[in-house]
Amino acid sequence: MNLRKTLSAIALFCTPALAFAHPGHGESGLMSGLAHPVFGLDHLLAMLAVGLWAAQQSGAARWALPVTFVGSMLVGGLLGFSGVEIPLMETGIAGSVLAFGLLVAVAARLPMAVSIGLTALFALSHGVAHGLELPELASPYGYAAGFIIATAALHACGYALVRFLPQAAAPLVRIAGAASALAGVWLLAN
């Protein structure tokens, strides 16, 4: 009789573990998606720099650059979820830190088509990386929502930093761009 009670108790204790052994429980992916751009130095610097650069622009480029980045990154994320890899993806990500940093440092105002194309290309690299790094049991929808929200928030932080600082602080923004560019050089070297 004691053996039977012991086996029954063990079976009851194991039942919740069996239920959670299937995907769809626990981690929604949202928190992982939110954390990915924020805790990866390369992603963090590039996404802040896009916001800084957008704020240095005039007209439609102010909103078009961040929107292009987010949209292209989502497309890249979907490709990554499907297992698609792009050549030189990590080099493209490190290169984006360098390029966006330089663009901020010199406050570049390129033709809209060039700015959009450059932004889309680098965002695609970031998105594929996000998609390929989908945690095993995470919901791809929650994870994508997380990295989209985090990216838009980082763009907004960079944008707000430039727009709401006094004009006298503009050199500090350029210095931040130069520091990001140096970080990009370091990332490319490693």
Q: Are the beta carbons of 25 and 136 closer than 8 angstroms?
A: no
CA proximity to 162, closest of 90, 77, 85, 54: 54
User: Tell me, what's the pLDDT at 15?
Assistant: 43
Q: Are the beta carbons of 33 and 150 closer than 8 angstroms?
A: yes
pLDDT surpassing 70 at residue 6: no
- Quickly tell me which residue has 């720099």 as its tokens: 49
* 37: confidence class by pLDDT, cuts 50, 70, 90: confident
**Kindly report the CA angle at 65 between 39 and 170, in degrees rounded to 5?**
80
Neighbours of 99 (CB within 10 A): 22
pLDDT surpassing 80 at residue 97: yes
pTM: 0.82
CB neighbours of 161 closer than 8 A, spacing ≥ 6? 51, 52, 55, 173
